[in-house]
Amino acid sequence: MMQQLQESAEYLKKHIGDLAPEFGIILGTGLGALVNELEISHAISYAEIPNFPVSTVESHSGKLTFGHLAGRPVVVMQGRFHYYEGYNMDQVVFPVRVMKLLGVKKLFVSNAAGGLNPRFDTSDLMVITDHINLQPSNPLIGKNLDELGPRFPDMSDVYDEHMVREAMVIAEDAGFTVQEGVYVSVPGPMLETPAEYRYLSFIGADAVGMSTVPEVIAARHMGMPVFAVSVITDMCTPDRIKKVKLSDILEAAAIAEPRMTLLIRELVRRS
């Protein structure tokens, strides 16, 4: 595994020359427009990179884009790998581990999620303050990669408190509110039944989605500080559940996208 990661990192280093990304950004479903704010130096399709899995979801474009955001060197994943696509957890987190080998110091993650907290609304942003992992596996199972991190990594403070507070200030200065809460990660790809939404709410989650937690676990294993934000694309409280179409999720994500982009851009600027 380490050899594969190193091969991918070496390939990328050759292509990006002296642009050493300091920050890694993973963009969720319908949330790709942040790249329009980048001064792009290189865009490398996943298919070109040795050992990289290839993205299959139509709404993801499958590129690693290098450039500057707010004047800082970043690498952006346009399109991520989900467990429900049939990838194993090693594949899901492969790019995050490669980012670490490229020298990335902090990880920023976005996703689309269903709202479980009744105070939320469609197109709200929720800064993730903690998570619950209900994926059927996780990327640390198996032989520990000692070069990357310890066998039993601590998970008592997964989401960087300083960045959470900074995000609140940025939002307030920009004139919008953001929610805070707990994200629960489920395997999908089906959405939840009303009974499942009730259950997820009962166990303490404010939003539910099908991604993020594996990548975040891998990042924390490697000691990378993490900031993550959900865009609430549909409300899942008993009185507000309706049939969800991908087009509705994309529409709700598009409305929230400029706020999410601003939040990540300004956090990168201040990092």
Binding site for ligand HPA (CB under 6 A): 112-114, 191-192, 208-210, 233-234, 236, 249
**Minimum separation from the CB atom of position 242 to ligand HPA (A):** 11
C-beta atoms surrounding 24 within 10 Å: 27
**Minimum separation from the CB atom of position 234 to ligand HPA (A):** 5
Beta bridge partners of 226: 107, 159
Q: Which is nearer to ligand HPA, 215 or 234 (CB)?
A: 234
**Which one-letter amino acid corresponds to residue 178?**
V
23-27 and 106-115 strand pairing: parallel
Q: Which is nearer to ligand HPA, 187 or 223 (CB)?
A: 187
**Minimum separation from the CB atom of position 192 to ligand HPA (A):** 5
Q: Which is nearer to ligand HPA, 8 or 117 (CB)?
A: 117
**Minimum separation from the CB atom of position 114 to ligand HPA (A):** 2
Beta bridge partners of 65: 43, 76
Distance CA 13, CA 72 (A): 17
Q: Which is nearer to ligand HPA, 51 or 59 (CB)?
A: 59
Helix (H) or strand (E) holding 254: helix 246-270
Q: Residue number with the shortest CB distance to ligand HPA?
A: 114
Distance CA 147, CA 150 (A): 8
